[in-house]
Amino acid sequence: DAGITQSPRHKVTETGTPVTLRCHQTENHRYMYWYRQDPGHGLRLIHYSYGVKDTDKGEVSDGYSVSRSKTEDFLLTLESATSSQTSVYFCAIGTSGRVDTQYFGPGTRLTVL
Amino acid sequence: GESVGLHLPTLSVQEGDNSIINCAYSNSASDYFIWYKQESGKGPQFIIDIRSNMDKRQGQRVTVLLNKTVKHLSLQIAATQPGDSAVYFCAEALNNAGNMLTFGGGTRLMVKP
């Protein structure tokens, strides 16, 4: 998966608890993205980053925050998890901002009870 | 890896036959279209893209056709192989920026030996 790892790979948590998902890359790519994948919706962009400390919102950013203090790590935080955030979360990286340079990680399955 | 267990439209083809996967897109202003392949337990993988000023583009064993009049996109896979079994997603965007994609719901391709 092009030098992308996601952790944890599976997580079960309870409503109202904070959760942080980590995306780590070894490619030194400038761009990093967080998507969620749900039945019937394909992938939807949550947040993305175009450099260290440079982030912006995507289509479904409510309830999520991100941080990027180092090139290699992009963290996605659910401050207070809700059942509607049960999903599979994918991180992607890219050398440029172009779609055809994006590579996806293996995903994290998050279940909020 | 992770994948989403979905009640997806399914196309079942015999090994060696050609496959055609269809997609209807929603925004007539979209300028850029992409097909992704997602194997079980993995993240999506870029297959081929096409700009709106083209009707057809060919890759290795794959062809994408674009019909802007009816907002329809198709992916043709020649001589389908067992390794082609996966979920295929189309995506559209106003441009080729990685933060601008809108994904479709996906089609599952099953290749029978």
In this predicted structure, what is the pLDDT of residue B44?
92
In this complex, which of B6, B97, B105 lies closest to A98 when CB atoms are compared? B97
Q: Do B98 and A101 touch (CB under 8 A)?
A: yes
Option in A39, A97, A101 nearest B4 (CB): A39
Q: How far apart are CA B46 and CA A27, in angstroms?
A: 18
Q: Which residues of B touch A106 (CB under 8 A)?
A: 1-2, 41-43
Q: Name the architecture of domain A4-112.
A: Sandwich (2.60)
d(Cα A78, Cα A19) in Å, to the nearest integer? Answer: 5
Verify whether the Cβ–Cβ distance B97 to A99 is below 8 Å. yes
CATH number, domain with residue B33: 2.60.40.10
Task: Indicate yes or no: CB of A104 within 8 angstroms of CB of B45.
Answer: yes
Task: Give strand pairing partners of A80.
Answer: none
In a domain, B25, yes or no: yes
In tens, the pLDDT along B23-42 reads: 999 888 899 999 999 998 88
- Read off the pLDDT of residues B10-21 as tens digits, 9 standing for 90 and up: 999 999 999 999
Helix, strand or coil, per DSSP, at residue A85: helix
Domain count, chain B: 1
Question: Residue B30 belongs to what domain range?
Answer: 1-81
pLDDT in tens, B27-84: 888 999 999 999 988 899 999 999 999 999 999 999 999 999 999 999 999 999 999 9
User: Is B4 close to A105, i.e. CB distance below 8 A?
Assistant: no
Decide: helix, strand or coil at residue B24.
strand
CB A35 within 8 A of CB A64: no
**Domain coordinates of chain A in residue numbers?**
4-112
B110 located within any domain = no
Among partner residues B3, B46, B104, which is closest to A102 by beta-carbon distance?
B46
DSSP conformational letter for B107:
E
Query: Does B64 reside within a domain?
Result: yes
End-to-end alpha-carbon separation of chain A, Å?
30
Q: Kindly report, residue by residue over A8-67, the tens digit of the pLDDT.
A: 999 999 999 999 999 999 999 999 999 999 876 689 999 999 999 999 999 899 999 999
Interface size, chain A vs chain B, as Cβ–Cβ contacts under 8 Å: 89
